[in-house]
Structure 1
Amino acid sequence: MLEPSERYTGYTAYEYLEAGVDYRHFDYAKQLGRVPEYAGLDLSSAQAERTQRLLDQETVISLHEHVQVFPENMDYLRDHIRQGREPTGYEGLSRSGLTAVFDNGMDGTCCISSDAGWKYQDVLFDLGVRMADLAHQDFVIKGETLKDIQYAKETGRIAHIFALEASTMIENEVDRLDVLYGFGVRQMGIAYSEANTLGSGLKERGDGGLTYFGERAVARMNKLGIAIDISHSGDRTCVDVIKASTKPVFITHAGARGLWPTSRMKTDETIIECARRGGVIGIEAAPHTTLSPSHPLHSLESVMDHFQYCVDLVGLEHVSFGPDTLFGDHVGLHEAFSSNLSLGQAHANVDYEKVPYVDGVENPAEAFGNIIGWLVKHDYSDDEIRAVVGGNTLRVLEEVWV
C-alpha cells in the first residue's frame, strides 16, 4: 500500500458540519483495507522500486472514477443517496498516486428527488454540495484547466475534475451545457444506457444515432471545451458523435467487444474511428465488465487483456485507463441500482461467474499502483507507461479544453 501524500492533513468529508445535526450520519465503508491487497503481481524489489518511482514522478490521470465513499451497510444506500451528500474519499485518494481524476459523482444513481435519476436540479445539487466540501480543504483541488493539473502535480495535490456520464439532464436545452460548464463540468457523456434527446444508449433494441439536437449539443461542447465521452452510447450513436465532433472524443471507461461480446464493450469499428480522429479509450474495471476468455474471473489480469487488445488494435498512443472504481461495495451498488444502470441488458449475451470485487482494481487507492506494476512486470518502457497513465489523456485535453 502506498504511503499517504504529505499534503493530506487527515480531513474527512463535511467535517465542517455536525453529523446528526446538519445531515444524517451513516457508517461508511473503509477506504483502505476493505479487501485483501492484490497478491497477483509478485514484483521483484527492482520492479517495485520502478513502479513507485513512476507513480511518484509521472502525471497519473484516471479518465473515470467515482471517488465517493458508500455506506458500509448497503441496505441504507437509498437513504444515503436521498440526502444528496456524497462523501469524497480523501483518505483513500491520499494513497492513490493520482495527479488528476475525472469524478462522475452520483450519475445514474443521482436519485435525490426521483428514483429515475438524471434530473437537472439533482445534478446541480450534487455538484454544488461536493464543491462546498472540496473548498474546505486544500489537498484535492477543483480541476478545470491544464494548468490546474500541472499545479496539482507540482504541489503534491490531486486535481478533481467533475464529469457526467450522460447529458440526459439537459433535456432539450442546449444552454444548460453552459451552466454545467460554469459549475466545473469538463467532461460529459452523450447518453447513458437509455436513449435521450441527444442519441441512443447501449441497452436499446435499436440505435437511431445522434439526433439533430445531439449535433447541436456536440457543437456546443466543442465550443465550451467540454470533453465528450461515448462510453455508454449505442454503436451508431458512438460513430456519429466521433464524426460530428470537431475535437477528439474519449471512450472513458470500456473495453473491447472483440474480446468480450457484450454491448457494454465497444466494437472494433468504434475504437478504430475514435483513434483515427485522435481520441483515446480508457480501459474499464467495474465489476463484471472487462472480462476475457483467458481470465473470465474478473481481476486485474482480465482488465489488462482488454488493454493489450486495444493497444494491438489502434496503437498505444490511443489507450489509457478509466477504472470506474469507488470506495465500498461496488457489486452491491450494481445490485441495488440494476434497473437504473441497465446491467441486465448490457450482459444479456454472456454467462460469467460473479465475483465480490475485482481483485487488483477494487478501489481508487489501489488501481493505478497495480496497473503500473503490471506494466512494469510486462516490460513496458517508461515512455510507454508515461503515455498510457496520463500522457495520452493530456494530449487530447490540450486540443479539447480551452
Structure 2
Amino acid sequence: MTALADPGVNDVLPMVFNALGGISNPNLRLLAQEGEAAVGRSGTRLDARALADLRSSGTTAVNITLGYVFGDEDPFEYSVAEIARWNRNIQAHPDQLLKVRSASDIRTAKESGRTGVIYGFQNTEMLGTDAGRVATFAGLGTRVVQLTYNGANAVGAGSMVPENTGLTPFGHDVVAELNANRVLVDLGHSGEATCLDAIAASTAPICISHTGCRALADLPRNKTDQELRGVAQGGGVVGIYFMPFLAEDSFPGAVDVVRHIVHAINVCGEDHVGIGTDGGTTQIDDMPAYHKLIDDEIARRKAAGIGARGEKPGVVPFIPDLQGPDQFRKLATLMADAGLSSRVIEKVLGLNFLRLVEDVWGQ
C-alpha cells in the first residue's frame, strides 16, 4: 500500500466509524439466488467470512440497518424480532462483536479488538401513530433512527416524494422523543424540506448517516449545501456513502467518494464530515452474476415504488474499486493524495462521528 503523505495514518488504521454499513457476505445471495432486497435483512447472511473481513477492515463501529424499512411485514413486530435476532448474533460472537449502547462501548470495542454494532432504523413506520414507542426501542438498544425512507410516512417526506413536503406535526413529536431519549436523529433519505425542518426542530445535534453532495451530482438522494451546512451548524456530522449516486451519468469510482468528501468539508468544516458507506466489507467474487441479481432487484424496487433516481441497470450499489476489507485503507490513501492531512483523515474515518455520539448519547 502506498504510504500516506502525512505521518500518523498508516497501515494500522485509526478509529473507523461507519455511520451506515453492514455485516454480511453478499456472495451467499449468489449461491442461494435469493433475490431478496438487502435493506432491512442485514443479518441473514452473517457468516465467518463476513466477520473475518469486518475485523480485517479495521472497522471499530458500524451502524447497521435493522427493523422495518419496507415490505409486507408488520413494522412493529418485525422490528422487535430483528432486534432479538441481532442480540442473538452478537451473543454468538462475543469475541468479535459488541452491542453499542453508549459512546464508551465504542472505545471498549476498539480497545478489545472487537467491532461495536450500533442498532439503527431506516424508517419510523414501526412507531405507528405512537411517538412514545421511541422510548420502547431506545430501551431495546436502538441508538439511531432515520426519519423516512425514500417515500412518505407519518413523520415526513422521503427524497423521492415530488411534493417535497416537510416534517409533519407527528414528525415534530417524534424528533422531540428522539431527543428526550438521547437517540441520534438521522436524516438520510429524507426530502429537502423534511430535512431542513428536522434540523430546525431538533434540540440535539443530528446526522445524515449516508449521502452525497447534490452540488456535485444533482440526484434526490444527495443533499444540498443548505442541508449540509445546517447539519454542521447544529454540531452534527454528514456521512459520505460509497454509492452510485455520487455521479449522475456515469459509473462512480473511489475518486468520486473523495471528491464528495472534500466538497462536504469545504461546506461543513473538517469536524462535521464522516463516512457512511451503505455497504459491507466483503468483496463480490462474481461481478457479472451480481450485476444480474442487482438489475433484478432494481426492477423490483422500482415496481414497489421505493427506488431512487440514480438506481439503474448496470450500476451496482457500491463503489467497485472500494470493495472488500481494504476499502478504508484505500480511502485513507486517496484522501492523503488529495491533500488532506492525517488529522483530517482521522476525523473523517471515525473521530467526528465518535464525538457526535458522545454529544448525543453521553459518555
**TM-score calculated relative to the size of structure 2:** 0.86
* Pairing of 1:3-402 with structure 2 (within 5 A): 43-45=1-3, 51-55=9-13, 58-70=14-26, 71-73=29-31, 75-78=33-36, 86-88=44-46, 89-105=50-66, 107-108=68-69, 111=71, 114=72, 119-138=75-94, 139-286=96-243, 288-291=244-247, 296-326=250-280, 327=282, 329=290, 332-333=293-294, 335-336=296-297, 337-339=300-302, 342-343=306-307, 345-347=308-310, 354=315, 358-363=319-324, 365-402=325-362
Q: Compared with structure 1, are the counterparts of its residues 320 and 357 closer, same or farther at alpha carbon in structure 2 (3 Å cutoff)?
A: closer
The answer to whether the 8 Å contact 1:50/1:376 transfers is: no
Give the CA deviation at 1:188.
0.7
Secondary structure of 1:77's aligned partner: coil
Q: Is the 8 A contact 1:283 1:303 kept in 2?
A: yes
Following superposition, the deviation at residue 149 of structure 1 comes to 0.6
Deviations 1:52-81 (A, max 9, x none): 4450xx221011102223412463233999
1:245-295 deviation per Cα after TM superposition (whole angstroms, max 9, x unaligned): 001110110011111011011111111111111111100112x221268xx
Q: Distance in 2 between matches of 1:225 and 1:79?
A: 30
Check the 8 A contact 1:69/1:86 in 2, yes or no.
no
**Could you tell me which amino acid in structure 1 is paired with residue 30 of structure 2?**
E
Aligned AA for 2:309? A
Q: How far off is 1:83 after superposition?
A: 9.5
2-side partners of 1:357 and 1:83: how far apart? 17
Cα–Cα, structure 1 residues 381 and 357, in superposed 2: closer, same or farther, change >3 Å?
closer
Q: 1:182 to 1:275 in 2, by over 3 A?
A: same
Question: What is the DSSP-based 3-state SS (H/G/I as helix, E as strand, rest coil) of the residue aligned with 2:166?
Answer: coil
SS in 2 for 1:95: helix
CA positional deviation for 1:84 = 9.2
Larger Rg: 1
* C-alpha RMSD over aligned residues: 2.9
The one-letter code matched in structure 2 to 1:248 is P
| Other structure's SS at 2:356 match | helix
Q: Kindly indicate whether the alpha-carbon contact (under 8 Å) linking 2:42 and 2:64 is maintained by their aligned counterparts in 1.
A: no
Structure 1 residue 186 displacement after superposition: 0.3
Q: Which sections of structure 2, spanning at least 5 residues, go unmatched? A: 285-289
Identity of aligned residues (%): 24
SS at match of 2:209: strand
**How far off its partner does 1:334 sit?**
6.8
- Change over 3 Å in CA distance of 1:118–1:369 after alignment to 2: farther
Asked if structure 1 preserves the Cα contact closer than 8 Å seen for 2:15 and 2:350, the reply is yes
Structure 2 vs 1, CA of residues 375 and 81 (structure 1 numbering), >3 Å: closer, same or farther? closer
- CA distance in 1 between partners of 2:132 and 2:111 (Å): 35
Distance apart, 1:143 and its partner CA: 0.9
CA 158–237 in structure 1, closer or farther in 2 if over 3 Å, else same:
same
How far apart, in 1, do the equivalents of 2:182 and 2:356 lie? Answer: 11
TM-score by length of 1: 0.78
Give 2:34's aligned amino acid.
Y
Residue-by-residue CA offset, 1:365-390 (whole Å, 9 max, x unaligned):
23312211212333422211121111
